[in-house]
């Protein structure tokens, strides 16, 4: 498509979302993208700070605002703002062809997908080397620590995705690339002081500022461009052509193929794809969120039906890791877990504890 036509459509989105803010309707043009105020999150209060990017070569949209991080293909982008119908049949076909070509692009060393599709191409240089990070914070490998018993009891592989802080008794969970570079991390306090958080999640910019004590604005600004995907544990190993299963916690996701952990039920999956399903915990927050998603026509794991059919109590908290421990210790045989994903709104009855 001609850049002028895409600009016309993007301007239509901005005019619709920011009718009273002319400065937020402005489009800054560069070689391969339009830089705009994000129509999803509203962007910064300063209209001159534009964190939204519409890429002309891939016809995708990405917001680099850490609190948003939306990633959409252009079909979803224009549909979200009611402009997809303004495209001609030929334009729709052309967009679809370009998107298909990008989905089939060659994979790079960062997993089954090319992460440069989601962040700036020079993102590799800003990632944190795991070994250097562990040395700086005096962390040790779990194989050489007392936390090994806990990790193995959770049926987790005690590999480089973990590290142990023997002084503060904290277990580090890393969102790693295959070459042991850290994109984000979560800390599990094993000896929590009363009132402190059990889990702490750090995006890449937070790792620099809060854990490494680095305040260089150039480094932080660069890291912030990775922030929208830094908490998406497992992003580098996803196959978007298959069902993607979303968990709350990284350790649950490490027990299930083609899945990611978002670190919190409040975090959003930042990519606009249709083949996703949610496996949230069986607890009040997870049940409520699953019911909400089911009501929206999304696919969720039907904990209630699974627990009922296998004679397992519904009156306690469950997640996949808890379930694996229970099944292996009890020797209970179960039906195929994939059979318990549902998008039938009538299944809401199973979510009453």
d(CA 254, CA 159): 12
Structure tokens at 117: 């599709």
Contact, 293 vs 300, CB < 8 A?
Answer: yes
Whether the per-residue pLDDT at 313 is higher than 50: the answer is yes
Whether the per-residue pLDDT at 297 is higher than 80: the answer is yes
The reported pTM is 0.71
**Last residue of some domain: 58, 74, 105?**
105
CATH of residue 285:
3.40.1360
Residue 331 — pLDDT band, cuts 50, 70, 90? very high
Element (H, E) at 12: helix 3-17
Higher pLDDT, 70 or 329: 329
Contact, 89 vs 66, CB < 8 A?
Answer: no
Residue 111 lies in a domain: no
Average of pLDDT values for 19-26? Answer: 92
Lowest mean pLDDT among 95-104, 318-327, 343-352: 95-104
Average of pLDDT values for 122-127? Answer: 80
Residue 320 lies in a domain: yes
Please give the pLDDT value at position 249: 94
Whether the per-residue pLDDT at 120 is higher than 70: the answer is no
Percent of the chain surpassing pLDDT 90: 67
Structure tokens at 197: 């958080």
Domain identity same for 262 and 334:
yes
Residue-wise pLDDT tens digits, 220-256: 988 988 888 899 999 878 887 789 999 999 999 999 9
Residue 304 — pLDDT band, cuts 50, 70, 90? very high
Cβ neighbours of 267 (radius 10 Å):
15
Residue 232 lies in a domain: no
Residue 92 lies in a domain: yes
**What are 329-336's contacts with CB under 8 Å, separation 24+?**
334/306, 334/310, 335/309, 335/310
Residue 233 lies in a domain: no
Distance of CA 109 to CAs 116, 124, 177, 299, Å?
11, 11, 8, 31
Domain identity same for 252 and 317:
yes
Domain identity same for 332 and 283:
yes
d(CA 97, CA 100): 5
Domain identity same for 186 and 263:
no
**Last residue of some domain: 46, 71, 105?**
105
CATH of residue 31:
3.90.580
Domain identity same for 196 and 253:
no
Please give the pLDDT value at position 112: 47
Residue 230 lies in a domain: no
Whether the per-residue pLDDT at 121 is higher than 70: the answer is no
Whether the per-residue pLDDT at 123 is higher than 90: the answer is no
Residue 248 lies in a domain: yes
Whether the per-residue pLDDT at 103 is higher than 70: the answer is no
Distance of CA 134 to CAs 15, 90, 174, 303, Å?
48, 53, 11, 38
**Last residue of some domain: 180, 198, 224?**
224
Q: Chain centroid to CA 134: how far?
A: 24
Residue-wise pLDDT tens digits, 31-47: 788 999 999 998 878 87
Whether the per-residue pLDDT at 347 is higher than 90: the answer is yes
Phi, psi of 333 (to 5 degrees): -90, 140
Domain identity same for 338 and 298:
yes
d(CA 310, CA 306): 6
Whether the per-residue pLDDT at 65 is higher than 80: the answer is no
Whether the per-residue pLDDT at 22 is higher than 70: the answer is yes
Residue 56 lies in a domain: yes
Please give the pLDDT value at position 64: 79
Domain identity same for 132 and 100:
no
Give residue 216's domain range.
123-224
Residue-wise pLDDT tens digits, 126-184: 999 999 999 999 999 999 899 999 999 999 999 999 999 999 999 999 999 878 899 99
Give the chain's domain count: 3
Whether the per-residue pLDDT at 8 is higher than 90: the answer is yes
Structure tokens at 51: 């964190």
């Amino acid at each position: 498509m001609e850049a002028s036509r895409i600009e016309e459509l993007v301007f239509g989105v901005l005019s619709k979302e920011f009718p009273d803010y002319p400065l937020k309707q402005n489009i800054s043009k560069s070689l391969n993208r339009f830089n705009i105020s994000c129509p999803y999150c509203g962007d910064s209060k300063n209209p001159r700070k534009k964190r939204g990017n519409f890429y002309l070569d891939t016809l995708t949209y990405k917001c680099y605002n850490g609190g948003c991080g939306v990633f959409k293909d252009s079909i979803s982008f224009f549909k979200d703002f009611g402009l997809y119908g303004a495209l001609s049949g030929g334009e729709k076909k052309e967009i679809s062809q370009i998107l298909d070509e990008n989905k089939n692009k060659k994979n790079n060393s960062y997993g089954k997908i090319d992460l440069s599709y989601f962040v700036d191409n020079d993102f590799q240089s800003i990632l944190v080397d795991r070994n250097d990070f562990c040395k700086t914070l005096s962390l040790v490998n779990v194989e050489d620590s007392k936390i090994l018993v806990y990790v193995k009891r959770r049926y987790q592989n005690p590999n480089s995705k973990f590290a142990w802080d023997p002084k503060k008794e904290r277990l580090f969970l890393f969102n790693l690339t295959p070459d042991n570079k850290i994109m984000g991390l979560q800390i599990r306090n094993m000896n929590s002081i009363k009132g402190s958080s059990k889990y702490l999640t750090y995006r890449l910019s937070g790792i620099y500022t809060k854990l490494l004590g680095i305040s260089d604005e150039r480094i932080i600004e660069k890291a912030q461009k990775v922030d929208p995907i830094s908490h998406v544990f497992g992003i580098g190993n996803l196959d978007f052509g298959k069902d993607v299963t979303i968990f709350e916690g990284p350790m649950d996701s490490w027990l299930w193929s083609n899945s990611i952990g978002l670190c919190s039920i409040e975090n959003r999956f930042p990519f606009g794809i249709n083949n996703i399903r949610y496996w949230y915990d069986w607890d009040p927050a997870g049940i409520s969120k699953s019911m909400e998603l089911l009501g929206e026509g999304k696919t969720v794991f039907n904990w209630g039906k699974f627990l009922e059919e296998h004679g397992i109590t519904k009156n306690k908290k469950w997640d996949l890791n808890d379930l694996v421990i229970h099944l292996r210790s009890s020797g209970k045989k179960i039906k195929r877990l994939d059979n318990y994903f549902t998008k039938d709104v009538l299944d809401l009855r199973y979510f009453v504890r």
